[in-house]
Amino acid sequence: MIREMTRLVPALLLILLSLAAPAPLAAQTTAGAYPAFAPRAFVMFSQQQFAAKETFEAIFGESTGSFRGGGVDVVIARNIFAEIGFARFEQTGERVFPCVPAVPPPGSEVKCPFRLGIPLTAKIRSVEFVAGYRVTAWRRVLPYGGIGVGSHRYQESSEFAAAGDDVSVSASGLVLAGGVEVRLARFIGVTVDVRRSTIEEIIGSGGISKEFGENDLGGTAARFRIIIGR
| Residue 74 amino acid letter | V
Size of the site for other proteins (CB under 8 A): 36
Per-residue interface string for the shown chain with other proteins, residues 49-68, x marking contact by CB under 8 A:
------xx--x---------
- Whether the Cβ atoms of residue 47 and residue 64 lie closer than 8 Å to each other: yes
Neighbours of 225 (CB within 10 A): 23
Q: What are phi and psi of 26, to 5 degrees?
A: -60, -40
- Whether the Cβ atoms of residue 165 and residue 158 lie closer than 8 Å to each other: yes
Residue ranges of alpha helices (H) inside the chain are: 2-19, 23-30, 53-60, 207-212
- Whether the Cβ atoms of residue 173 and residue 154 lie closer than 8 Å to each other: no
CA distances from 131 to 31, 122, 202, 206, 213 (A): 21, 29, 25, 34, 32
Can residue 184 be called a binding residue for other proteins (CB under 8 A)?
Answer: no
How many residues does the structure list for the chain?
230
- CA torsion sign for 181, 152, 157, 52 is positive
DSSP 105: P
Selected from 207, 220, 226, 230, the binder of other proteins by CB under 8 A is 207
Can residue 46 be called a binding residue for other proteins (CB under 8 A)?
Answer: no
Can residue 211 be called a binding residue for other proteins (CB under 8 A)?
Answer: yes
Stretch of residues binding other proteins (CB under 8 A), selected from 37-45, 72-80, 88-96, 176-184: 88-96
Smallest separation, CB 112 to other proteins (Å):
9
Stretch of residues binding other proteins (CB under 8 A), selected from 21-29, 75-83, 128-136, 198-206: 198-206
Per-residue interface string for the shown chain with other proteins, residues 100-119, x marking contact by CB under 8 A:
xx--------x---xxxxx-
Strand partners of residue 188: 185, 228
Can residue 156 be called a binding residue for other proteins (CB under 8 A)?
Answer: yes
Can residue 206 be called a binding residue for other proteins (CB under 8 A)?
Answer: yes
Of 79 and 126, CB closest to other proteins: 126
Selected from 20, 57, 154, 179, the binder of other proteins by CB under 8 A is 154
Smallest separation, CB 55 to other proteins (Å):
6
Can residue 120 be called a binding residue for other proteins (CB under 8 A)?
Answer: yes
Smallest separation, CB 59 to other proteins (Å):
5
- Whether the Cβ atoms of residue 81 and residue 106 lie closer than 8 Å to each other: no
Binding site for other proteins (CB under 8 A): 55-56, 59, 93, 95-101, 110, 114-118, 120, 122, 154, 156, 158, 160, 162, 165, 167, 169, 202-209, 211
